[in-house]
Chains A and B, each alone.
Chain A
Amino acid sequence: MIPRHVQITAVVLIVAMFSTGFYILRLKARVEQNGAAADTRPIAPPVAGPRSKVELYIAYDHEGVIRARQVEVALPQEPNLRAREVLRTLMGEYLQKPSPHPMAPGADVKEVYLLNGGIAVVDTTAAFADDHRSGVFVEELTVASVVATLSANVPGVARVKILVNGKERETLAGHADLMSFYDVNAVDQLVKAMQ
Chain B
Amino acid sequence: MRWNKRISATIAGMLLLALLPLRSAEEKRVAVYAPRASFSLPVQERGNAEYVGLFEAVEPLGQASIRVDAKSWKLRFNGVNCEFKAGQTRGRVGKHTIELAQPFLLEGEHGYIPLHALPLVLSRLLDSRVDFHTASRRIFVGDVATRFSLELKKGEGLVLNFSDPVNPMISTEPGKLRMTFTHEPIVSAVGTYEFQEDKLIAGARFNEVNGAAELTVQSNVPVMATFADGGKTIRIVAAPSRAAPAPAPAPPAASGAATPAAPPPEASPGGTPPAPAGAAAGAPSGTVHPAYLIVVDAGHGGEERGAALSDKLAEKDVTLALARKLRGELQARGINALLLRDSDATLSLEQRAEAVNASRAAVYVALHAANLGTGVRVYTAMLPASYTGPQLFIPWETAQAGHIEASRLVANAVADEIGKREMPGWVVAAPVRPLNNVVTAAIAVEVSLPGPQVDTLVSANYQQQVAAAIASGIADARAKLDPNAPKAAAPANPGGAR
Instruction: Find out whether the CB atom of B306 lies under 8 angstroms from the CB atom of A174.
Output: yes
Instruction: Find out whether the CB atom of A14 lies under 8 angstroms from the CB atom of B307.
Output: no
A33 CB-CB contact with B under 8 Å: yes
Residues of B within 8 A of A33 (CB): 107-108, 110
The residue from B4, B7, B10, B373 contacting A137, defined by CB atoms under 8 A apart? B373
Instruction: Find out whether the CB atom of A180 lies under 8 angstroms from the CB atom of B436.
Output: yes
Residues of B within 8 A of A64 (CB): 372-373
Q: How far is the CB of A60 from chain B (nearest CB, A)?
A: 11
Binds B, one of A17-25, A44-52, A81-89: A17-25
Residues of A within 8 A of B14 (CB): 14, 18
Instruction: Find out whether the CB atom of A176 lies under 8 angstroms from the CB atom of B372.
Output: no
Residues of A within 8 A of B430 (CB): 136-137, 140, 176, 190
Q: How far is the CB of A141 from chain B (nearest CB, A)?
A: 9
Instruction: Find out whether the CB atom of A137 lies under 8 angstroms from the CB atom of B446.
Output: yes
Q: A11-B7, A170-B349 are in contact. Are A134 and B306 (CB under 8 A)?
A: yes
Cα-based distance from A175 to B428 in the complex (angstroms): 14
Question: Which residue on chain B has the smallest CB distance to residue A4?
Answer: B3
Instruction: Find out whether the CB atom of A186 lies under 8 angstroms from the CB atom of B307.
Output: no
Q: A33-B110, A134-B306, A170-B349 are in contact. Are A140 and B431 (CB under 8 A)?
A: yes
A70 CB-CB contact with B under 8 Å: no
Instruction: Find out whether the CB atom of B110 lies under 8 angstroms from the CB atom of A29.
Output: no
B429 CB-CB contact with A under 8 Å: yes
Question: Which residue on chain A has the smallest CB distance to residue B397?
Answer: A180
**Number of chain A residues close to chain B: CB under 8 A:** 39
Q: A18-B18, A186-B382 are in contact. Are A177 and B306 (CB under 8 A)?
A: no
Q: How far is the CB of A122 from chain B (nearest CB, A)?
A: 14
Question: Which residue on chain A has the smallest CB distance to residue B348?
Answer: A170
Instruction: Find out whether the CB atom of B10 lies under 8 angstroms from the CB atom of A14.
Output: yes
Instruction: Find out whether the CB atom of A134 lies under 8 angstroms from the CB atom of B308.
Output: yes
Residues of B within 8 A of A99 (CB): none
Q: A29-B25, A177-B433, A186-B429 are in contact. Are A136 and B370 (CB under 8 A)?
A: yes
Instruction: Find out whether the CB atom of A137 lies under 8 angstroms from the CB atom of B300.
Output: no
A7 CB-CB contact with B under 8 Å: yes
Interface code A162-183, partner B: CB below 8 Å = 1, 0 otherwise?
A: 0000000011001111011011
Dominant secondary structure at the A interface: helix
B368 CB-CB contact with A under 8 Å: yes
Q: A14-B14, A18-B18, A174-B300 are in contact. Are A135 and B370 (CB under 8 A)?
A: yes
Question: Which residue on chain A has the smallest CB distance to residue B444?
Answer: A136
Q: A33-B110, A64-B373, A136-B446 are in contact. Are A176 and B3 (CB under 8 A)?
A: no
A138 CB-CB contact with B under 8 Å: yes
Residues of B within 8 A of A2 (CB): 3-4
Q: A25-B22, A174-B306 are in contact. Are A135 and B11 (CB under 8 A)?
A: no
Q: A135-B370, A135-B372 are in contact. Are A7 and B3 (CB under 8 A)?
A: yes
Instruction: Find out whether the CB atom of B431 lies under 8 angstroms from the CB atom of A182.
Output: yes
Residues of A within 8 A of B432 (CB): 136, 140, 175-177
Number of residue pairs A-B, CB distance < 8 angstroms? 103
Q: A2-B4, A18-B14 are in contact. Are A133 and B431 (CB under 8 A)?
A: no
B269 CB-CB contact with A under 8 Å: no
Residues of B within 8 A of A177 (CB): 431-433, 436
B164 CB-CB contact with A under 8 Å: no
A1 CB-CB contact with B under 8 Å: yes
A61 CB-CB contact with B under 8 Å: yes
The residue from A11, A21, A138, A170 contacting B370, defined by CB atoms under 8 A apart? A138
Instruction: Find out whether the CB atom of B307 lies under 8 angstroms from the CB atom of A135.
Output: yes
Instruction: Find out whether the CB atom of A186 lies under 8 angstroms from the CB atom of B384.
Output: yes
Residues of A within 8 A of B431 (CB): 140, 143, 176-177, 180, 182
Cα-based distance from A148 to B287 in the complex (angstroms): 48
Q: A180-B436, A182-B431 are in contact. Are A136 and B3 (CB under 8 A)?
A: no
B84 CB-CB contact with A under 8 Å: no
Cα-based distance from A175 to B307 in the complex (angstroms): 10
A193 CB-CB contact with B under 8 Å: yes
Give the interface centre of A25, A34, A64 by most chain B CB atoms within 10 Å. A64
Q: How far is the CB of A130 from chain B (nearest CB, A)?
A: 14
Q: A1-B3, A2-B3 are in contact. Are A190 and B110 (CB under 8 A)?
A: no
Residues of A within 8 A of B446 (CB): 135-137
Question: Which residue on chain A has the smallest CB distance to residue B434?
Answer: A177
Question: Which residue on chain B has the smallest CB distance to residue A2?
Answer: B3
A10 CB-CB contact with B under 8 Å: yes
Cα-based distance from A189 to B307 in the complex (angstroms): 27
Cα-based distance from A25 to B377 in the complex (angstroms): 47
The residue from A1, A10, A21, A29 contacting B7, defined by CB atoms under 8 A apart? A10
Cα-based distance from A83 to B225 in the complex (angstroms): 48
Q: How far is the CB of B440 from chain A (nearest CB, A)?
A: 18
Question: Which residue on chain A has the smallest CB distance to residue B396?
Answer: A179
B residues 280-309 touching A (CB-CB < 8 Å): 300, 304, 306-308
Interface residues of B (CB under 8 A from A): 1, 3-4, 7, 10-11, 14, 18, 22, 25, 107-108, 110, 300, 304, 306-308, 315, 349, 368, 370-373, 377, 379, 382-384, 397, 428-433, 436, 444, 446, 448
22 contacts between A and B (CB under 8 A): A18-B18, A25-B22, A29-B25, A33-B110, A61-B372, A64-B373, A134-B306, A136-B446, A137-B373, A137-B448, A140-B428, A140-B431, A174-B306, A174-B307, A176-B430, A176-B432, A177-B431, A182-B382, A186-B383, A186-B384, A190-B429, A194-B428
New contact pairs (5) apart from A11-B10, A176-B430, CB-CB < 8 Å: A10-B7, A14-B7, A136-B377, A137-B370, A176-B431
Interface residues of A (CB under 8 A from B): 1-2, 7, 10-11, 14, 18, 21-22, 25, 29, 33-34, 61, 64, 133-138, 140, 143, 170-171, 174-177, 179-180, 182-183, 186-187, 189-190, 193-194
